[in-house]
Amino acid sequence: MFLSRRSFLAASASLVAAPAFGQVRASGIVDAIVVGAGAAGIAASRRIVAAGKRVVLVEASDRNGGRCFTDTRSFDVPYDRGAHSLHSPDVNPLAKLGRGTGLEVYPAPPGQKLRIGRRNGREGELEDFLASLVRANRAISEAARGKTDVAAAAALPRTLGEWRQTVEFMLGPYVCGKDLSEISAADLAKSSERDVNAYCRQGLGALLVKLAEGIPVRLSTSVRAIDSFGRARVEVQTSAGTLTGRAVIVTVSTNILAANKIRFLPELPKRHQEAAAKLTLGSYDRVALELDGNPLGLEPDDLVFEKSERARTAAMLANVSGSSLVFVDVGGRFGRDLAAQGEAAMVAFATDWLANLYGNDVKKAVKRSHATRWNQEPWILGSMSAAPPGAQPLRRVLMEPFRDRVFLAGEAAHETLWGTVEGAWESGERAATEVLKRMGIGLTPRTSSPSPRRQPRQQPNPAIAPLRDFQ
């Protein structure tokens, strides 16, 4: 069933209707100030509002959602520029909340297609590739049990042969936004499996906007400094004045923290600074192409990888939610270097890449196009966090409050769901729960320890699903 333009605009109208700074007044001291209106900030604010406490959500950009952004203008259909997938929808809180909003959350097709040159991979070739992927996951898990953390690339078995480059792309740039040589084996091994997914037909960004309804939010309001010197209170200095609260929850990305875009008084503890500096965001971007007439001959939401011999590769999601849109996603060093060349270079790569796999007639079918450049977004500066060797324990450091009233949250502050929207959501809820506890309100926080959904990485993983879940 296709969405009409009118029905989609109605579903995303809350983005336009979100209250601006001048419409929200916070006189006196509020109970909590939340910095950043991404998944973590929205989750934290909802929990505080549900407890009957006063909260103000401050966002530097002109919209809610953070790294979840559904663009309704570029193609006249929902286009997720950032996160697109909800992992493990049977236990994912966002999937349940999404269904309650009236938006359509539907299961993603299982499995993926493998393209070898200009033909589909045969069944035996796909089985061989998946077996190589299982061996790689098992080797990374075994390396993570060693006394010394190593780069995930160093843990890979030598038996991967012709599949090595494809395996490295899927486990590195595609899942983490970084090459495996830059990623901790312990961090990758501890991450939850993400092979069962759901999509939101109206867009994951539209879902986050819907969940932000009713929250007092100040858009286009950047935070310049957070002063916690005062006794039992925090002053947040913004581009539109100063807010005072009993606690502050900071949900900005680790790259924003590391870039010192927000000044802390007193400064962040050294251990928190180290965590932000090492748990940096990778590079993950998307080229969206509008293809007339389904020239690829694929089904809605078909996921396609190529058997690659080099790092210059991508993943494709075809006919997104039944539309004529195709996503070509790039990441890691190659993706970062490509994005630095600009949108035209990114679109040229995506069309050439598709033409190499499906024939040159594909280029004639391209109508409109768009490419994201998340590294250039001034209030984000990247995609999702990935720990280098030895830095995995720093995720717990980000969870530690300081001065008993400053809390950090976001996807980087989750040990198993880092890099995902649900990880950011759970982190925001955890931080809000801690704030409420200090007010004498008892709530049971969501655990940030390994979830029941987690499956050992050495188990077969026959349905590799798109991550694309930088918060």
pLDDT per position as a tens digit, 260-276: 999 999 999 999 999 99
Of all helices (H) and strands (E), which one includes residue 39?
Answer: helix 39-50
In angstroms, the CA 191 to CA 412 distance is 12
- Crossing angle of the two packed helices 332-340 and 343-358, in degrees rounded to 10: 130
CATH of domain 5-106+200-280+384-438: 3.50.50.60
Locate CATH 3.90.660.10 in the chain: 108-199+282-376
In angstroms, the CA 288 to CA 392 distance is 33
Q: Looking at the predicted structure, is the pLDDT value of residue 450 above 60? A: no
DSSP state of 368: E
Q: What is the pLDDT of residue 326?
A: 98
Q: What is the pLDDT of residue 27?
A: 55
Query: Which residues, at least 6 apart from 354, have a Cβ–Cβ distance to it below 8 Å?
Result: 289, 296, 316, 326, 328, 362, 363
Q: In the sheet where 55-58 sits, what is the strand order? A: 217-218, 55-58, 32-35, 248-250, 406-408
% of the chain beyond a pLDDT of 90: 85
Locate CATH 3.50.50.60 in the chain: 5-106+200-280+384-438
pTM metric for this prediction: 0.89
Q: Tens of pLDDT along 12-50?
A: 333 333 333 233 345 579 999 999 999 999 999 999 999
Q: What is the pLDDT of residue 195?
A: 84
CATH number for 108-199+282-376 (one of 3.40.50.970, 3.20.20.70, 3.90.660.10, 3.40.50.1110): it is 3.90.660.10
Alpha helices in 171-326 (DSSP H): 175-176, 185-190, 204-211, 254-258, 270-278
In angstroms, the CA 446 to CA 171 distance is 27
Q: What is the pLDDT of residue 153?
A: 98
Supply the mean pLDDT for the chain: 90
Q: Tens of pLDDT along 308-339?
A: 999 999 999 999 999 999 999 999 999 999 99
Q: Average the pLDDT over 199-216 and give the result.
A: 97
Residues 48, 32 contacting (CB under 8 angstroms): yes
Q: Average the pLDDT over 75-91 and give the result.
A: 96
The dihedral formed by the CA atoms of 88, 93, 99 and 103, expressed in degrees to the nearest 10: -90
Q: What is the pLDDT of residue 232?
A: 86
Say which residue, 350 or 460, is predicted with more confidence: 350
In angstroms, the CA 223 to CA 242 distance is 9
Residues 66, 37 contacting (CB under 8 angstroms): yes
DSSP state of 413: G
The dihedral formed by the CA atoms of 34, 19, 83 and 191, expressed in degrees to the nearest 10: 20
Q: Is 328 exposed, middle or buried (0-12, 13-18, 19+ CB in 10 A)?
A: buried
